[in-house]
Structure formats: C-alpha cells, structure tokens
Amino acid sequence: QQPVQSPQAVILREGEDAVINCSSSKALYSVHWYRQKHGEAPVFLMILLKGGEQKGHEKISASFNEKKQQSSLYLTASQLSYSGTYFCGTEKPPGGGNKLTFGTGTQLKVEL
Amino acid sequence: NAGVTQTPKFQVLKTGQSMTLQCAQDMNHNSMYWYRQDPGMGLRLIYYSASEGTTDKGEVPNGYNVSRLNKREFSLRLESAAPSQTSVYFCASSEALYRLAGDNRNTGELFFGEGSRLTVL
C-alpha cells in the first residue's frame, strides 16, 4: 500500500519555507526522499532510518516519527532550483534492502 | 562514470508485440530494481533483484519477466505488450543498507537510469 503524501501541490515564492508530509499505515524501517524534475530521473535527497539515523542532503532536513509512521521533509529558504516533484519511499521491516514503496508525489513550484 | 544506463530511451510497440528493456550499472551494486511511473501514480516497483541470481516480485509484476544476467545487468521483458503497459520505466541500483553498516560514505540511495518511455498502441 502506497504511503500518502500531503500536500499534493504547493507554490512558493523564493525564500519561503515548505513542509511535505508522508504517512504510512504500516510499520516502517526507513523513509527515503527523492526529487524529480520534469523529464528527468528521481534524485536522492535523504534517508531516515528507524532508530534516528539520517543520511543525505546537507541543506535539507527531515524528521521520522516511528510511532506514527510519518515523515516530514523541511525545505527552508526555498530556491528556484527546489522546483520539482518530491516523492517519499518507504520500506517496511525487516528492511535494509531498499525495496521501496513510493507515494504519489508532491509537486513543488518556486516562483520569483 | 556512466552510473545506470537504460536502453532504449523510446519505443513504440503494437499490442501483442514483445520487447526487452536493458539496464546496466557500473557501480558494483548488488541490488537492482525496475519501476514504472504513470501520471498521478508515482513510482511502482515491478521487480527487484537483491543479488546476482535472485529476483523477486514487486507491486505490479503481472505481464513482465526479468533476468539478472550478471551483477551488472538486469533486463525487463514484456512478452505480449498491452496498452496498459504504456509508461515510463526506470531501472535503479543501490547497495543494501545492511551491507553498509558502519560505512558513512554510502547512504543506501537508489541511483536511477534516465528512463525508457514505452508506448503500446
């Protein structure tokens, strides 16, 4: 079952902040975040692991609430280059193989 | 460094025809994946290979077969194409997190190919 992302779409002015949420109905081992620009392949942003470990992008932060099976991606001081579609990918326990189920995406557009 | 290479990038088929999508990676990863992407549906896993010689079904395997030819290559075959298989197909590779314990240089990320756009008429 796919995780649910919210919002489905958001428009920001350059410099504004945004939060994208990802929620699963099942227990999770890890949450991955990817960004995809139109006509391109998804690009890795961050992974959050059960137990609190994070790996990934230095300028983007995220949280993972294991009990609620939710993750949030925080985009601060947005830039034009942040525009694209953001996907969360979740892996259920025992995990570790990166066999992900992706959400349907959040379209982010940053304007001047 | 080529990363993940998929061929062909574009293909048009008629209903009932067969074809194979090729994927190769040069990062010495053990795990490889095939995803399809449809508007409003996100990325859905078709098949997965944890290592050379092993394959496993994903969320939407019906109508597809895969072969993990060696560590580098993972192909996806459509035996009898249907219009419902019109999609963009992405191959990806990664190193499983359980192989990376203690190695902070690697993140377990999926590296995607550029995609193959398939249209079935």
What is the rounded CA–CA span in Å between residue B34 and residue B23? 9
Q: In this model, does residue B75 exceed pLDDT 90?
A: yes
What is the rounded CA–CA span in Å between residue B2 and residue B27? 9
Q: How many CB pairs under 8 A join A and B?
A: 69
What is the rounded CA–CA span in Å between residue A4 and residue A18? 17
On whether the CB atoms of residues A48 and A100 are closer than 8 A, the answer is no
Question: How confident is the model over B103-107, as a mean pLDDT?
Answer: 56
Residue B21, number of CB atoms within 10 A of its CB: 22
Contact A101 B113 (CB under 8 A): no
CB contact A49 to B (< 8 Å): yes
Residue A49, number of CB atoms within 10 A of its CB: 20
Q: In this model, does residue B106 exceed pLDDT 60?
A: no
pLDDT at B99: 54
Q: In this model, does residue B6 exceed pLDDT 60?
A: yes
Q: How confident is the model at residue B69 (pLDDT cuts 50, 70, 90)?
A: confident
- Chain B CB contacts of A32 below 8 Å: 109-110
Q: In this model, does residue A57 exceed pLDDT 80?
A: no
**Closest to A32 (Cα-Cα) out of A45, A41, A20:** A45
Average of per-residue pLDDT values in chain B:
91
Question: How confident is the model over A14-26, as a mean pLDDT?
Answer: 94
| Residue of A24, A98, A104 best to disrupt the B interface, most CBs of B under 10 A | A98
Contact A44 B109 (CB under 8 A): yes
Burial (CB < 10 A; 0-12, 13-18, 19+), residue B53, is exposed
On whether the CB atoms of residues A25 and A14 are closer than 8 A, the answer is no
The pLDDT tens digits for A23-43 are: 999 888 889 999 999 999 999
Percent of chain B at pLDDT > 90 equals 78
- Chain B CB contacts of A24 below 8 Å: none
Q: Which residue of chain A has the CA closest to B4? A: A41
Contact B96 A97 (CB under 8 A): yes
What is the rounded CA–CA span in Å between residue B91 and residue B22? 9
pLDDT at A42: 96
Helix, strand or coil, per DSSP, at residue B99: helix
CB contact A93 to B (< 8 Å): no
pLDDT at B103: 55
CB contact A102 to B (< 8 Å): yes
The pLDDT tens digits for A60-111 are: 889 898 888 999 999 988 999 999 999 999 998 877 778 899 999 999 999 9
